[in-house]
Amino acid sequence: MPKPFPIPDWVRHTNVYEVNLRQYSQEGTIQAFMPALPRLRAMGVETLWFMPITPIARQHMKGTMGSYYACASYKGVDPEFGTKADFRELVKTAHEMGFKVIIDWVANHTGWGHEWTIQHPDWYEKDPATGDFKRASGMDDIIELDFYNADMRAAMIEAMQWWVMEFDIDGFRCDLAAWVEYFFWQEARPALEKIKPLFWLGEFDELENPEYMGVFDACYSWKWMHRTREFYQHRYPLFELESLLERYQQVNRGSSMQIWFTSNHDENSWNGTEFEKYGDMARGLAVFSATWSGIPLVYTGQEAPNHKRLAFFDKDPVEWTGQYYLEKFYKELLQLHSQHPALRAGDPDTLPIRLHTSADDKLYAFLRKKGESEVLVILHFSDEYELSFSILDTRLEGTFTELFSSQSKNWSEEREGRIMGWGYYVYLK
């Protein structure tokens, strides 16, 4: 759909690293995270997304520390993470190093005991059975806001403006964006854009909530995440993925963008690590996430790699060893995405072109082009130990260099290849 708001140009080549402050270090603070900035920058990270750092509600809290997503105020930093001065220093330092910084914004609900429950109880939905605040569906530590209340909407927007003006953040990852009435986002974005251009990432899938892309720059790819898990665990035919990718292609012809990932805070804690969900296919899906049309996301600890589910409401830090075994892997992918013109996101001219192979029931090969620049990606979606194949599509021609091995290949002269089970190649022209 037409975009009424200009997307900041940097968004089209960015990637996102989700920071789980509580579990990033033993201390779990902003100051303890700061020393990681140089390493993450060297790894190719462009945008840092911080899970909520707002004060956490203690009333009806879950676990020993409560939920990031049950706030007690929309302004301020929870003492668990540090101070406002700490966050201001972090954003300033990150900007100086070339990062962009976005924060999680939880508009749909607050925690019990939020300051508005005392100051403005009429800003909340009420449970007709009890007359008390309405609990969010299936989550008894949070309560629903009433977005038909104009005063509440104005206060929410003013709080978002406060974060931009106070800390100079670069955008928002909006939690459960499609659970919030669309008209709120229609009010919020132009009010915020008066301060500076921002990146708006919504937690929804355009295939389910297409109207929300009238406000947001990028959205989630939930359907892809669920389908790929089912594909791996139940050994579905490749057609199941092909048909879904064509649906994403359709919306992307209108300049839409998705964020692609194998893990995030919800998935890791509740559904399992990428290794639990995808097994040997996990790295191939990470390659897909960085080379398909859109924005790649890496979650805290994936570069280690982290093999455990991180507790959500209790202290459970990543078990860093000082060795980052997948750091080079992610660096190659993140830098490629941020630097290669053919991987520009939200650009209908660079959309993937599916290539015909001799093994289309097992291989998904695609080409992305921008002028003379081309990226060829070959993904093996089966466990066949060593698959011999040919690329039959005549749209592929010329000499390419493989990203991970640095080996050159002239596809005009040699159209055959071999690939291991669940393997991948990324060739650059």
pLDDT reading at 1 higher than 90: no
Q: What share of the chain is helix, strand, coil (3-state, %, to 5)?
A: 35, 25, 40
Query: Residues 216-270: pLDDT tens digits?
Result: 999 999 999 999 999 999 999 999 999 999 999 999 999 899 999 999 999 999 9
Query: Residues 348-396: pLDDT tens digits?
Result: 999 999 999 999 999 999 999 999 999 999 999 999 999 999 999 999 9
- Taking each continuous run of H as one helix and of E as one strand, the counts in the chain are 13, 19
State the Cα–Cα distance between residues 134 and 110, nearest whole angstrom: 11
Query: Residues 151-203: pLDDT tens digits?
Result: 999 999 999 999 999 999 999 999 999 999 999 999 999 999 999 999 999 99
Q: How many CA atoms lie within 13 A of 421 on its CB side?
A: 7
Task: State the DSSP H helix or E strand holding residue 239, giving kind and residue range, or none if neither.
Answer: helix 239-252
| Tokens 């996430």 sit on residue | 289
Q: Which residues pair with 390 in a beta bridge?
A: 416
> What separation, in Å, do the N-terminal and C-terminal C-alpha atoms of the chain show?
32
pLDDT reading at 3 higher than 70: no
Sequence-distant (≥ 6) Cβ neighbours of residue 301 within 8 angstroms: 20, 23, 310, 318, 320
DSSP codes joined into one string, 288-347: HHHHSSSEEEEETTTTTT--SPPPSSS-------S--TTHHHHHHHHHHHHH-GGG-TT-
pLDDT reading at 136 higher than 90: no
DSSP codes joined into one string, 381-395: -S--SEEEEEB--TT
State the Cα–Cα distance between residues 179 and 183, nearest whole angstrom: 12
DSSP state for residue 411 in the 8-state scheme: T
